[in-house]
Copies of this chain bind each other. A is one copy, B any other.
Amino acid sequence: MLRPRTAPDHRKRYNAVAGRSIERVAALSDGVFAVAITLLVLDLHAPALELVHSEADLWHGLLALAPRLLVYVMSFMTLGIFWVGQQTQHNHTARSDRDLSWLHLAFLLAVTLMPFSTTLMAEFIRFRLAVVVYWLNILLLGVLLWFSWRYARHAGLVSGEADTEIACGIERRIIVAQSLYAFGALLCIVDTYLSLGFIALVQLNYVFAPRFGPLARI
């Protein structure tokens, strides 16, 4: 009864008209990034009122927040990098379809997990597992972004202006970045702080995009 003869056709047709607006995907993405970015800051709690009796106490209370602030800035950078990356894809995508919408939804799922991974690493920085979870989150973001671009190209959803060079550039970018993140994660075998430091340097490189010296070649 739930499978009338004509259903497959109707279904095909429904799927052909579902989720076609790349603008809506972009709007939802901006919303999710905005909330995820701001939720991260909820981890920064003001020092407890009863423990602060002098300026010096407050100063020490704020200093104690420094590691969390650093992790916060790092995660902000991560999300910023992926927001710019996703936006670049959107700008070169003419329209969406339901599969591409779902690939971007899966990407947003990985974005919403970032506050959790971040908190975990901030609290358990000395444990390798925390670094691995953080890296897995970054890997998931990269894989889904890479896959959504591959799919968009394959399904003919990319806008005409985006020539092969740009298209390949977007893919290479993701692969190089993920290789560096993976190497950084591997460093946790030596030391978790080293691992975190290396990942932070990679991120700084992508944020500031230096245009000279050896870094410009990465």
Contact = CB atoms under 8 A, between A and B. Distances in A.
Interface size class of A (residues with CB under 8 A): 35 or more
Interface stretch (A13-21, A141-149, A150-158): A13-21
Contact of A112 (B3, B8, B38): B38
Interface string A145-188: 00000000000000000000110111011001001100000000
Given A21-B91, A28-B33, A179-B2, A14 B218 contact: no
Contacts of A191: none
Contact of A31 (B31, B169, B217): B31
B83 A98 contact: no
Contacts of A139: none
A213 B214 CA distance: 53
A32 B38 contact: yes
16 contacts: A3-B214, A14-B170, A17-B169, A27-B30, A31-B33, A32-B37, A37-B108, A39-B42, A41-B113, A49-B123, A55-B129, A62-B129, A80-B102, A84-B101, A87-B101, A102-B207
A120 interface: yes
- Top 9 nearest A-B pairs (CB, nearest first) are A31-B34, A35-B38, A14-B169, A27-B30, A3-B217, A18-B88, A80-B105, A19-B84, A32-B34
Contact of A84 (B18, B83, B130): B18
A200 interface: no
Interface of A: 2-3, 7-8, 10-15, 17-21, 24, 26-28, 30-42, 44, 46, 49, 52, 54-55, 58-59, 62, 73, 76, 80, 83-85, 87-88, 90-92, 98-99, 101-102, 105, 108-109, 112-113, 115-116, 119-120, 123-124, 127-130, 133, 165-166, 168-170, 172-173, 176, 179-180, 207-209, 211, 214, 216-218
